[in-house]
């Protein structure tokens, strides 16, 4: 899966500007899905038909990533900007960014009284090499993503946008394996959703349209295994995390039991996740339409919402195995 992951995480695709990453994923899944469509929000929806004996299931992984958008150009060609999603000031200075046309820039900060301090986002600017406003190659309202290449350091993968391109990679690989097996009880809608980072908007519209029985989000979660980390019972390399609760939803108890049972039957390592801050597409899926049984399988990730998010290769593979096992067998809630 390394080449797939590299292609996904390095691609451009901030929230609201997912055209490029959607094309990449569409090419990856074209030969595995029975039907592929794109809805009015821009969600990529791939249907794998079941044998008619099971439930309808929506599996959601969001394509978008955090980024920035230009708001103003100074007379000497520097750019002011706002955030797209959860961008933190401490991750900005010195970061390299790229616009959809390939224009590259570097983010820096205004003079500080002390280098031990930290300016807010409003005191940062982008330098694209322009010498004046008239010669600036970038306009107001242009979106950019951060630039950071994929790296494999001993089975630990590092890159920008692991959140949630790693979930997309799990979705693509799971669809491939299920299509090779040839049968599933369920009609499975793999939804590669848009605008999750700005409010799980894509998943909400898709879930309202599809009206499924079961929803499963694939996303990253925090870990509690770094120095002085917030207390959390999730470690990198200890297996996929089955979400019980986050700040936006409580998972369906029957679905959580089913996930645990499938993992134990196949000796797939897993962890139980309670996330105190943050949520996923599962929140929107759960309450769409008349509601459905929803949950989330999380890939443990260090340094979330930075340009060097880290996941473990074994966790990724075990997440694929767990999802395939769930979708290949009857789901009883």
CA-nearest of 90, 137, 82, 133 to 109 is 90
Give the other-Cβ count within 10 Å of 257's Cβ. Answer: 13
Residue 124's H or E segment, with its range, is strand 124-127
Give the active site residues. Answer: 196
> 222, 271 in Cβ contact below 8 A?
no
Strand spans (E) along 162-276 = 187-193, 214-221, 241-245, 271-274
DSSP 153: E
> 140, 71 in Cβ contact below 8 A?
yes
Q: Peptide bond preceding 164: is omega within 30 degrees of 0, i.e. cis?
A: yes
As a residue count, the chain comes to: 333
Distance CA 106, CA 47 (A): 41
């Amino acid at each position: 899966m390394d080449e797939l992951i590299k292609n996904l995480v390095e691609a451009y695709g901030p929230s609201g500007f997912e055209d490029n990453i959607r094309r990449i994923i569409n090419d990856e899944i074209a030969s595995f899905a029975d039907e592929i469509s794109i809805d009015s929000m821009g969600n990529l929806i791939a249907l794998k038909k079941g044998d008619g004996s099971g439930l309808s299931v929506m599996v959601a992984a969001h394509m978008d990533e955090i980024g920035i958008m230009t708001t103003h150009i100074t007379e000497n060609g520097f750019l002011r900007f706002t955030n797209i999603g959860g961008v933190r000031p401490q991750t900005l200075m010195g970061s390299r960014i790229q616009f959809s046309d390939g224009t590259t820039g570097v983010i820096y900060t205004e003079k500080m009284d002390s280098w031990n301090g930290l300016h807010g986002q409003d005191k940062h600017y982008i330098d694209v090499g322009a010498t004046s406003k008239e010669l600036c190659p970038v306009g107001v309202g242009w979106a950019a993503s951060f630039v950071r290449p994929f790296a494999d350091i001993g089975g630990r993968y590092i890159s920008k946008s692991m959140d949630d391109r790693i979930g997309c990679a799990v979705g693509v690989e799971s669809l491939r394996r299920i299509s090779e097996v040839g049968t599933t009880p369920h009609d499975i809608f793999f939804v590669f959703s848009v605008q999750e980072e700005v409010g799980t908007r894509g998943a909400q519209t898709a879930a309202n349209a599809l009206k499924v029985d079961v929803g499963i989000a694939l996303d990253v979660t925090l870990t509690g295994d770094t120095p002085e980390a917030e207390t959390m019972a999730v470690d990198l390399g200890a297996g996929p995390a089955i979400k019980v609760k986050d700040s936006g939803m409580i998972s369906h108890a029957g679905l959580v039991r089913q996930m645990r049972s499938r993992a134990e039957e196949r000796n797939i390592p897993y962890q139980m996740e309670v996330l105190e801050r943050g949520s996923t597409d599962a929140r929107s899926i759960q309450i769409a339409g008349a509601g459905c049984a929803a949950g989330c399988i999380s890939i443990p990730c260090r340094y979330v919402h930075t340009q060097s998010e880290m996941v473990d290769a074994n966790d990724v593979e075990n997440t694929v195995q767990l999802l395939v096992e769930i979708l290949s067998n009857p789901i009883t809630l």
